[in-house]
């Protein structure tokens, strides 16, 4: 391509400081170095985790930064040694890399990777420099993929080639929210047919859990949210009951115990709060129940809990991006989407130009959107 090896000037939504709105700026994007890939982002969705970045909730995210991690695009150019993608390929950048070499990548039961942001902050490339500048200042990457930039650079192991037929403005959701929830049900909990499930939080992640529970054949799916406006969509996606904790004086776990007799077989927390995490744990069967933590609780949080909650046999599990080995699985998820095995489009409530990125965040904060897709 004509731009290969050159600095590209393009638009990006930059967060200059915590607590401030994003500002759409012209940025310079340097060419990819060895084993890096430069991608033209076509579409990117807004996830709650991006809002946590804007609010300054992640101590290891440095400002200024270009957020965004649910994107899809086309490879513009590749650095030396890149073999898995080439210019023109449709790709999804990966918020959880798969290096293929670490002890986790080599373990078929794990989707973790030592190149993940849990090990290093991923605000700079591997050589500790940034490929972004704006107004003469270095701008940081986010999770290495910064999909709120029209062109963005990432390591090769943080990008997956997908089917050329994929609609990028739809499959961008397969970069984070949908696989996180759907995989929490089918990979992490391994929901069995005929079982009973409770899903706490009906944002993009929780609604994807509902879809996963339904796909796995659950016979009862109880959707829990304090915003009753979320219930219609939850029912459309497979929830059999919708419960608003605000309608009760007793704790929600007692309400669910009464509804189910012995508690649910599987409970999922997709909010990211300490108290709902304990409520979800206490809502599943005391002996055989499995509770999966899909929401991200603020790092460093401490949760006091009664050990008797676990003594009788309950399982409490975490999940990161739904347990998928991302480089292997994202292309398969895209194929599943094209084969209509699931309809993640139902999560898209708004499509906006990148210039209206702040409106997208306002809709999320007001509880009026599930996923807003931004187009460049």
**Which parts of this chain interact with ligand APR (CB under 6 A)?**
47-49, 52, 177, 180, 200-206, 224-227, 230, 245, 270-273, 276, 294-296, 367
Residue 225 touches which member of ligand APR, Zn ion, none, C-beta under 5-8 Å by kind: ligand APR
**Which pair of structure tokens corresponds to residue 253?**
């776990």
The footprint of Zn ion on residues 272-331 (CB under 5 A) is none
Q: Which residue carries 């990161």 as its tokens?
A: 320
Q: Which residue carries 């029209």 as its tokens?
A: 150
- Cα torsion at 253, 257, 258, 260 (round to 10°)? 130
Q: Are strands 196-200 and 266-269 parallel, antiparallel or unpaired?
A: parallel
Residues 99-118, mask of contacts with Zn ion (x by CB under 5 A): x--x--x-------x-----
CB of 207 to ligand APR, least distance (A): 7
CB of 51 to ligand APR, least distance (A): 8
C-beta closer to ligand APR: residue 32 or 68: 68
**Phi, psi values for residue 232, rounded to 5°:** -60, -45
C-beta closer to ligand APR: residue 32 or 263: 263
Tally the residues of the chain.
376
Can you tell me the distance from the alpha carbon of 375 to that of 365, in angstroms, rounded to the nearest whole number? 20
Residue 295 touches which member of ligand APR, Zn ion, none, C-beta under 5-8 Å by kind: ligand APR
Q: Are strands 23-29 and 132-134 parallel, antiparallel or unpaired?
A: antiparallel
Residue 270 touches which member of Zn ion, ligand APR, none, C-beta under 5-8 Å by kind: ligand APR
343: Cβ contacts below 8 Å, ≥ 6 apart: none
Residues 180-219, mask of contacts with Zn ion (x by CB under 5 A): ----------------------------------------
Q: Of 142-150, 161-169, 175-183, 192-200, which segment contacts Zn ion by CB under 5 A?
A: 175-183
C-beta closer to ligand APR: residue 205 or 211: 205
The footprint of Zn ion on residues 25-84 (CB under 5 A) is 47, 49
Can you tell me the distance from the alpha carbon of 374 to that of 376, in angstroms, rounded to the nearest whole number? 7
C-beta closer to ligand APR: residue 227 or 288: 227
Task: Determine if 126 is a binding residue for Zn ion (CB under 5 A).
Answer: no
CB of 177 to Zn ion, least distance (A): 5
Answer whether 314's CB lies under 8 Å from 287's CB: yes
- DSSP letters, 196-245, are EEEEE--SHHHHHHHHHHHHTT-SEEEEE-S-GGGHHHHHHHT-SEEE-G
Q: Cβ of 103: how many Cβ atoms within 10 Å?
A: 10
Cα separation of the two ends of the chain: 19
Residue 113 touches which member of ligand APR, Zn ion, none, C-beta under 5-8 Å by kind: Zn ion
Residue 72 touches which member of Zn ion, ligand APR, none, C-beta under 5-8 Å by kind: none
> Which residues of the chain form contacts with Zn ion (CB under 5 A)?
47, 49, 99, 102, 105, 113, 176
């Amino acid at each position: 391509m004509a731009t290969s090896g050159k600095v590209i000037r393009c638009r990006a939504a930059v967060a200059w400081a915590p607590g401030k709105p994003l500002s759409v700026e012209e940025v310079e994007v340097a060419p990819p170095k060895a084993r890096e890939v430069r991608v033209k982002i076509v579409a990117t969705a807004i996830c709650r985790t991006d809002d946590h970045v804007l609010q300054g909730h992640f101590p290891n995210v440095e400002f200024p930064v270009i957020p965004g991690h649910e994107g899809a695009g086309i490879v513009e150019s590749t650095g030396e040694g890149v073999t898995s993608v080439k210019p023109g390929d449709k790709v999804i950048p990966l918020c959880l890399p798969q290096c293929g070499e670490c002890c986790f990548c080599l373990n078929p039961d794990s989707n973790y990777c030592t190149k993940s942001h849990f090990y290093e902050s991923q605000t700079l490339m591997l050589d500790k420099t940034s490929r972004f500048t704006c107004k003469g200042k270095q701008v940081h990457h986010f999770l290495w993929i910064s999909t709120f930039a029209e062109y963005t650079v990432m390591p090769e192991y943080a990008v997956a080639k997908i089917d050329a037929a994929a609609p990028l403005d739809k499959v961008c959701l397969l970069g984070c929210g949908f696989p996180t929830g759907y995989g929490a049900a089918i990979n992490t909990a391994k929901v069995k047919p005929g079982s009973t499930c409770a899903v706490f939080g009906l944002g993009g992640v929780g609604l994807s859990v509902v879809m996963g529970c339904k796909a796995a054949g659950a016979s009862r799916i109880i959707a829990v949210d304090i915003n009753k406006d979320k219930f219609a969509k939850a029912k459309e996606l497979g929830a059999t009951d919708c419960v608003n904790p605000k309608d009760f004086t007793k704790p929600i776990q007692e309400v669910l115990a009464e509804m189910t007799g012995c508690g649910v077989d599987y409970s999922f927390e997709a909010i990211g709060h300490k108290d709902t995490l304990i409520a979800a744990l206490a809502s599943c069967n005391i002996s055989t129940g499995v509770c999966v933590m899909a929401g991200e609780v603020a790092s460093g949080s401490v949760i006091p809990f009664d050990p008797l909650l676990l003594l009788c046999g309950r399982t409490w599990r975490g999940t990161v991006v739904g347990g998928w080995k991302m480089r292997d699985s994202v292309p398969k998820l895209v194929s599943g989407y094209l084969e209509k095995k699931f309809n993640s489009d139902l999560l898209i409530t708004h499509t906006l130009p990148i210039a209206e990125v702040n409106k997208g965040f306002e809709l999320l904060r007001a509880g009026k959107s599930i996923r807003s897709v931004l187009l460049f």
